[in-house]
Structure 1
Amino acid sequence: MKLESHLPRQSPWLYITPLLNAILLLLVYYLFSSGFVIQSGITVEKPRSSSRLTGFDRAHIITIAPGNEVPMYFDGRRVNFEELTQRLVDGRAGERRVIIHHDRQAPSGRVVEVINLAQELGFEAALSTTPTPAPLVP
């Protein structure tokens, strides 16, 4: 026996509105979340690695660029080694992690100095790398 409804038919907009709302929320989510990708703003050619590290999404970013004078940047602002030390000392109350973006041509001695400085001041330091492409398996 087929049951019939005695209610008047509703407008199709009643059923389309929640669908449009969900699509709009997904669109807004993807637009805003794309800005959360960590970028330092300074172009460096990072070394390749297959390892991944999580938990550094709000870390300070130290960028070591190549060049004769080895320019360094702390959260996008150019600093020298003394200013970097002072900024790390001032930032010890906040986030205790740093990501070091270093160019492959940057002197390894400077990279090690920055890592040692961060660790002496109680920061966790991570080196930023470019992921290696996945091997093609036939």
Structure 2
Amino acid sequence: MKLETTLPERVGFLHAVPIFDLFALLLIAIMLGPSFITQAGVQVEMPVSRFQVARQSDASVITITQGEPPVIWLERMQVSEEELVAKLESRRQASIQVPVVYVRSDKQISAEFERRVTELALQAGFRVYLLGRAEESR
């Protein structure tokens, strides 16, 4: 006796349903997976910072080159420490927003002298950014 089925050979939608289930599970795993991962280590609550790095279009540049004593340049003019204070003060009064100054210093300049120039700019009311030291030319 031979048994024969009365169903058609291939029922298309019955074979497609497990594939849709597989894609749905894969999509759920991808979407929810990162929320179950925890970072190892100490949990800290980071403080809110108002500082945002933005391009400053009206920033002044102070360059300190080596010499005895080191030479201070404001933009492209060589100035003494007293002249630097006077020029920074006049620029601060002319500026509407918080003035910004970038300090560039040569590799051979001592940190003490760099700090002294930075403090002059801070006392004049400027926001000071220390730029990286220049590389040696080869």
State the AA in 1 paired with 2:101: V
Measured in 1, the distance between the counterparts of 2:59 and 2:124 equals 15
Tell me the equivalent position of 1:8.
none
> How far has the Cα of 1:54 moved from its partner?
3.6
Q: Cα gap change, 1:90/1:56 in structure 2, threshold over 3 Å: closer, same or farther?
A: same
The answer on 1:85 being equivalent to 2:88 is no
Tell me the equivalent position of 1:122.
125
Measured in 2, the distance between the counterparts of 1:71 and 1:107 equals 12
Measured in 2, the distance between the counterparts of 1:107 and 1:54 equals 29
Q: TM-score, normalised to structure 2's length?
A: 0.52
Instruction: State how 1:67-78 maps to structure 2 within 5 Å.
Output: 67-78=67-78
The answer on 1:106 being equivalent to 2:106 is no
* Relative contact order, higher structure (CA 8 A, sep 6+): 1
> How far has the Cα of 1:91 moved from its partner?
0.7
Question: Does the 8 Å contact 1:63/1:101 carry over to 2?
Answer: yes
Cα RMSD, aligned residues only: 2.2
Question: Does the 8 Å contact 1:56/1:98 carry over to 2?
Answer: no
Measured in 1, the distance between the counterparts of 2:101 and 2:131 equals 10
1:7-29 Cα deviation digits (max 9, x unpaired): xxxxxxxxxxxxxxxxxxxxxxx
Measured in 1, the distance between the counterparts of 2:64 and 2:109 equals 7
1:40-69 Cα deviation digits (max 9, x unpaired): xxxxxxxxxxxxx54334200000001212
Q: TM-score, normalised to structure 1's length?
A: 0.52
State the AA in 1 paired with 2:79: V
Measured in 2, the distance between the counterparts of 1:74 and 1:55 equals 19
In terms of Rg, which structure is larger? Answer: 2
Q: Which runs of 4+ in 1 moved over 6 A?
A: none
> How far has the Cα of 1:130 moved from its partner?
5.9
Measured in 2, the distance between the counterparts of 1:71 and 1:89 equals 20
Task: For structure 1, list consecutive stretches of 5 or more residues without a partner in the other structure.
Answer: 1-52, 132-138
Aligned pair count reads 80
Q: Cα gap change, 1:57/1:117 in structure 2, threshold over 3 Å: closer, same or farther?
A: same
Task: For structure 2, list consecutive stretches of 5 or more residues without a partner in the other structure.
Answer: 1-52
